[in-house]
Each structure stands twice: as structure tokens, then as C-alpha cells.
Amino acid sequence: MKDIGIILGIRPDVIRASKILNLLSNTSDISFDFIWSGQHYSENMKDVFFEQLNVPKPDVEFEIEKGNDAQIVSSVIKNTYNHLEKNKYKAVVFLGDTNTVMGSIAVAQHNIPIVHIEGCMRSYDWRMPEEKYRTTIDHLSDRIYAYLDSYKQQGLNEGISDKVIKVTGNPIVDIINENNNLFQNAENYLSEEIVKIISNESFLLATVHRRENILDKNSLNQIVNLINQTETQVIFPMGYTTQSKIEEYNLKLNSNVHVCDPIGYLEFMHLLDRSNYVFSDSGTVVEEACILGTPSIQLRFSTERPEVYDVKSSVKFDPSIEHNEYQSFLNKAQSLMDTKWKQPFGDGNASSKIVEDLIHLSQNDAFKKHKPGDYPFDISNSFKE
């Protein structure tokens, strides 16, 4: 029987956890099963990242029901529950705030300890399913890896015990440090059309995928208006749902905006590093841009990564309100190109800190089924006699 199970399910999970998975594969101090929840399943949202980052393929892949969020979540819970009937891990590890982390309900039903990487991030935007998911899993977890002290404090404010939360730094820093050479040499993964654009002139990059932006016609229209304001060439690797919504709402991007299907990580980072700035509603892309020294326009009302505003690497554009002018956002982002900031996300050792702690907990029998009196919250005032 393997010591732990790790359940991941979407593109940025593979990227962010790639070093953790490699470190775990290369040690005999702990054994693990890598389980793919099946949330992302197409070649360019999944397999390309395993190949490019040399990540071991999953040991188990769930066959989940596709469809709406409720179908995906219930199917992840069911598959996780059934898998755990036969696999009694010491603990099960999740990352982030997606439908996949709701599989933790099944782990709780088995009374198996839960580990959450990327814990205690908060946007304090209660419209977002992600905010509710991350709050839920944090409150079910026996070990939380929080990237920054400020995130830990957010968890403490909610009553989560100090003993549960360990601050590690953000593993995306590790991934960028380790793969920078590959990003620099990734031009040959790009299409001829994109290579031509980037070798002739300066360019911008764009990604948009969030529910609250693409399922709302007015918000997506605001984003299209903003992007259409620039005359610079824009490369826009666009997720499939975003593509279909742009078509459904009959929104038109200008001819200097080049839309393509999602691309691989190395070539995406090649572009991000070289672009003047990026338009994005992605949590990970604004972190990556900040680390690479590329300004971003964050297409969101709220963020769980306020550090990018603190260090002034990012400009906020709220798509949920009607704007009557757009140029000032572009000017601000352009002006950030001449400034320098210190990235606030950690020292590049997060993955090894997480793996060392998992080994330590596993070898010291710290992952145990709960017994009376165990509680991952501060309960000093409870159970009065």
C-alpha cells in the first residue's frame, strides 16, 4: 500500500506540482499514487504539460462524468470514495480551489487525513465558487501548505489551528527558476504565424477563462473592448469555452488580436517573458508575470493574490462594471514596463519544503485516523465541563 495519494485535475495543477511530483518520485522515503481526477482531459490542457515538464504520468485516472460543475464534483467525490475503499492511504493531498478539491469530501467520509497545498488563500469574493471550495477544503484539512505568512494569518483568523498551517513559499517560483532555460528555447514549439509576429514587433499576450467573466456577456464585452483598444499585436491563446462564448455573444476582436487554441507551457512562458504586458484573469499567469518582470492587467474584481498590487506589477481592470474609457489601463500597464519590482512569492524552495514535511509526517505516524479530542481548530474555549 502506498503512503499517500495525490489528486490533481487541471492544467495549472500539473505545472505548479511538477517539482513536487518529481521529488516524490525520486525518493524512497515515501511512496505515492498520483491520481488524475479527469477535470481537464484534452491533449493541450493536460498531456502536453506532463511531457514538457517531465512529470510522471498518473498511476490512476478517474473516468468522471463531464457536464456542469455539480456533475463533475459529484463524480469526483464518487470516484475518490470508491478508490479509497481499496486504497487506505495515510493521507490524501489536493492542490488549489477547483472542482477537483471537492473530492476531499470523500476523503473526509473515509476519515483519512487531508492535505491542502495552496491553503488559506482568500479573495473575500463570495460570488466565486473557488472561494467557497478553498474555504471548505481548508476547514477539512489536517495539514495546510500556505504560500505566504499573510495567507497563514487568513487561516488563523478563521480559527484554523497554528499547528495545521505550514508556510512554504509558492512552488510556481521553483518551476520558473528550474525551467527558465527551456522557456528561452521554446520558440520552436510556436506556430509559424506567432513566430513571425513576435520576431517583427513588440506584442501583448492575453488569457481569459474565469466563469464570472465569460458566462456574463457584459463582462466579456468589457474585456473585448479593452483589448480592442490597443493597436499593438496581441496573441490570445483562448480556452474552448471562451471561444464559444465570444461566438455566442457575437463579440468581435480586432484583426491585430490573434486568437489560437491553448498552447503548451514552455511556449506560453516564452511569450509571457517577451510580451510588453499581459491581459489575464488567471491566478497563475499574474503570479508568473510578476516573477518574470512582465506587467499585467488583471481582469478581475477581486484577487487572492493582492501581492501583485502591493509590488505594483499589476493594474486592476474590473470587467463587471461598465467603463467609458480604456486607454488609461493600457497606459498604466505600459508604464510599468519601465519599473522593477521584487517578486514576493518565495525563494524557490517551496516544493522541497512540502515534500520534506510530507515525508516527516508520514514517517512519524502523524497522519492518523482521527480520535476523540483531535480537532484542527483552536478549541481552547470549547468542551467546558
Given the complex with ligand UDP, which of 114 and 190 has the nearer CB atom?
190
CB-CB contact of 7 with 80 (8 Å) = yes
Q: State the sign of the Cα–Cα–Cα–Cα dihedral 102, 104, 108, 109.
A: positive
Residues 156-185 that bind ligand UDP (CB under 6 A): none
Three-state SS at 353: helix
Q: Toward ligand UDP, which CB reaches closer, 23 or 269?
A: 269
> Rule CB under 6 A: which of 231-260 touch ligand UDP?
237
Closest to ligand UDP by CB, 21 or 361: 21
Give the start-end residues of each E strand in the chain: 4-8, 32-36, 60-61, 91-95, 114-117, 143-146, 165-167, 203-207, 233-237, 257-260, 278-280, 296-298, 314-316
Lookup: cell for 248: 455566442
Among 12, 155, 169, 344, binds ligand UDP (CB under 6 A): 12
Of 276 and 284, which has the nearer Cβ to ligand UDP? 284
3-class DSSP assignment, residue 264 = coil
User: Segment near ligand UDP (CB under 6 A), from 10-18, 26-34, 106-114, 334-342?
Assistant: 10-18
83, 116, 139, 209: the active-site residue: 209
CB of 27 to ligand UDP, least distance (A): 25
Task: Tell me the C-alpha to C-alpha distance, in Å, between residue 298 and each of 69, 199, 223, 305.
Answer: 25, 26, 11, 11
CB of 372 to ligand UDP, least distance (A): 38
Residue 205 near residue 275 (C-beta atoms within 8 A): yes
> Total residues contacting ligand UDP (rule CB under 6 A)?
16
Tell me, residue by residue from 209 to 228, as one string, x for binding to ligand UDP by CB under 6 A and - for no binding. x-------------------
CA 30 to mean position of chain CA atoms: 25
CB of 13 to ligand UDP, least distance (A): 8
Q: Are strands 60-61 and 32-36 parallel, antiparallel or unpaired?
A: parallel
Q: Is 209 a catalytic residue?
A: yes
Instruction: Tell me the C-alpha distance between 301 and 318, whole Å.
Output: 5
Interface positions, 78-137, toward ligand UDP (CB under 6 A): none
Least CB distance from residue 24 to ligand UDP, whole Å? 20
* String of contacts with ligand UDP for each residue 260-299, x by CB under 6 A: --xx-x--xx------------xxxx--x-----------
Cβ atoms 324, 209 nearer than 8 A: no
Which of residues 51 and 374 has its CB atom nearest to ligand UDP in the complex?
A: 51
- Interacting residues of 130 by C-beta distance below 8 A, sequence separation 6+: 97, 98, 123
Name beta bridge partners: 5.
33, 92
Task: Provide the β-strand partners of residue 280.
Answer: 207, 298
The least CB distance from residue 239 to ligand UDP, in Å, is 7
The answer to whether residue 15 forms part of the interface with ligand UDP (CB under 6 A) is yes
Closer Cβ to ligand UDP, 123 or 284, answer by number: 284
**Which residues of this protein are in contact with ligand UDP, per CB under 6 A?**
11-12, 15, 207, 209, 237, 262-263, 265, 268-269, 282-285, 288
Residues with catalytic roles: 209
